[in-house]
A = this chain, B = another copy of it.
Amino acid sequence: MPDYSIGVDLGGTNLKAAAISADGAMLERLNANTELTQGPERVVDDIVRAIESLRGRCSGRRLAGVGIGVPGFIRMSEGIIVGSNNLPPLDGYPIRDAVEKRLGTPVMLENDANAAALGEKWMGAGRNVDDLVLLTLGTGIGGGIISRGRVLHGHVGMAGELGHVSVVPNGNPCGCGNRGCLEKHASATAIESMANLLALGSQLSAKDVYDLAVKGDERARLIFVTMGQALGAALAMLINIFNFPLYLMSGGVLAAWDYFYPALEAEVRWRSFTYRNAETRIDKAILGNDAGIYGAAYLPLQALRSATE
C-alpha cells in the first residue's frame, strides 16, 4: 500500500511542492520558480524536476501518485487547463498527460481553490465534516465545494466558481461578462478599487487600507463593512443552497477579519433562514498557503481509498 503522495501548487510565478504521508504529515517540501515565458515544456520540466527531487528524498516509501493544483478552469476528463488568467502559456496544453508520461506515475489535476478546499477538509479546519465550502480571498475570489468528502466538479469540472456569484445584479463589471460578481465587490482588488473611489490615497494596497482601518480611518472601515456585506450576501445564498455545516475563508485579507466579519455575519443572519435555524459555522481556514498542496497531495490518496472501498 502506498504511504505517501506528492502535491504541487502551480502559480503564475512559482511552484510549491511537498511530499505528504498518507496520514497527512508533511515529509519534504520545496519551492521553485516557474519559467512560464519559456513555454509549457519548460513548466513541465520544472514540475518533473521538483517531483523527482522530492521522490529522491523519500526513498524507501511508496508513492501513491501526484496531484497538481492550478489556477483556472480544468476540463477534468482531458486534464487540460482552459481560461487561466495566470497561466496563459498552459491554456489548452495537455499538462496532466505530459507530466504523467515523464514520471510514469498517476497524475491528477485540480483547480487551485478546489484543491485548497479539499486540503482544509483533509487536514485543516474541515477535518471533522464531510461537506464544506471554501472561499479564497485574493486578487480574485475562488471557491471550492466539498460534498460527501469529495470535490464537487460538475459536468466538465467548472463547478465552484463562487467568485462569480452576482451579489449586486448591476454592480461592477467583471471579465467573465457578468456584473456585480462577488470578486468585484469583496476581493483585495475590490478593496483597492473602493479605496481609489474614496480617494483614500493613490495606489493603496489592500494592506494599506487595512492599516488605515486599524488607525481608525472611518472610510477605510466602511470599505471593509461594504466588503463584508458582499461576502455575507454570497454566503447567505450558499447557505440557503447547500445547508452545509461549514463555510471557510482564506487569504491575506483575513487579517481584516474584525473589520469585515460583523457586517458579514449580520448580512448572513437576516438573509438566511437556514443560518438562523441550522447549526452553521463561518470561519477562517487554517492551512494558509499550504491548503492547496495538502489538497493536491490528497487527490491520489483519495482515489486509491475509494478504489479499495
Contact = CB atoms under 8 A, between A and B. Distances in A.
Contacts of A159: 241-244
Interface in A115-160: 131, 143, 145, 147-148, 152-160
A279 B77 CA distance: 14
Please tell me how many copies of the chain the complex holds: 2
Contact of A272 (B156, B178, B243): B178
B243 A155 contact: yes
A32 interface: no
A34 interface: no
Contacts of A184: none
Contacts of A176: 273
Q: Identify whether the interface residues of A are mostly helix, strand, loop, or mixed.
A: loop
A233 interface: yes
Given A153-B243, A158-B243, A159-B243, A277 B83 contact: yes
Interface stretch (A56-64, A161-169, A202-210, A217-225): A161-169
A104 interface: no
Interface of A: 73, 82-83, 131, 143, 145, 147-148, 152-162, 164-169, 176-179, 233, 236-238, 240-245, 270-274, 276-280
> Which of A155, A178, A279 lies at the interface centre, i.e. has the most chain B CB atoms within 10 A of its CB?
A155
A282 to B, nearest CB: 13
